[in-house]
Amino acid sequence: MLFFEDLGKKEYEETWKYQKKLFDEIIQKKVNNISSQKAGYFLFVEHPHVYTIGKNGKRDKHLLVSSDFLEKIDATCYQTDRGGDITYHGPGQLIGYPILNMDYFFTDIHKYLRLLEEVIIHFLWKNYGIKGERKKGKTGVWFHNHVKNGKSRKICAIGIRMSRWVTMHGFALNVNTDLRYFDYIIPCGIYDQEVTSLKKELKKNDISFQEVKLMVKKSFQEIFDVEFIPMSKKLDQ
């Protein structure tokens, strides 16, 4: 069973604590050899303006503005326990947080990252006929066609934490995101890239966020071969 919950719009710190609670719950049952039918959880959320920095991130080098400026643009910043460098989350961006017990899937972190990428690649191609691609040596999903000035365009960032084969954190897909907020950082610490959104690539005024959620859910189910159960039906097992 994989429980699904759409958290709607929620502050980053509150969501991080909630993720950690679910993450720790799975780990404790594993440590205590308590059997469970749960494969884990999958959360959707949309955050207010926030910058998050992974364990390998360099705030002094990759965050380009001061704390005072962050306050002016109504943004916060957190050092987190995920992998990767700095990224931005905000309105119009779909965040997916899979909190999975990988014993129910496979115990291979690189395969897991590639499948998270595949979820987004599958979603883009199946629903919009646009080709998302990987970038050698990097994690995430890009567009490489019609590259300007040698810069590929990143549409989805991925950063995870994994301990005892339990995952947390996940992916950030730019749908109707205000891309100006990426101007204040070196996204993921990569200098030779641009950031894009589904709205920008499709040249539309707005993309239905609810429709994107449904389509990404379907792609996740297909790529990971799982069925979702609403969190309202969660069993204590």
- Name the residues annotated as catalytic: 188
Angle at 193 between CA 190 and CA 196, to 5 degrees: 120
How far is Cα 212 from Cα 221, in angstroms, rounded to an integer? 14
How far is Cα 186 from Cα 62, in angstroms, rounded to an integer? 5
How far is Cα 117 from Cα 22, in angstroms, rounded to an integer? 23
- Is residue 223 within 8 Å of residue 120, measured between CB atoms? no
DSSP annotation of 101 reads B
How far is Cα 76 from Cα 65, in angstroms, rounded to an integer? 12
User: Which residue, 140, 146, 183, 134, is CA-closest to 158?
Assistant: 140
Q: Token digits for 212?
A: 């994107």
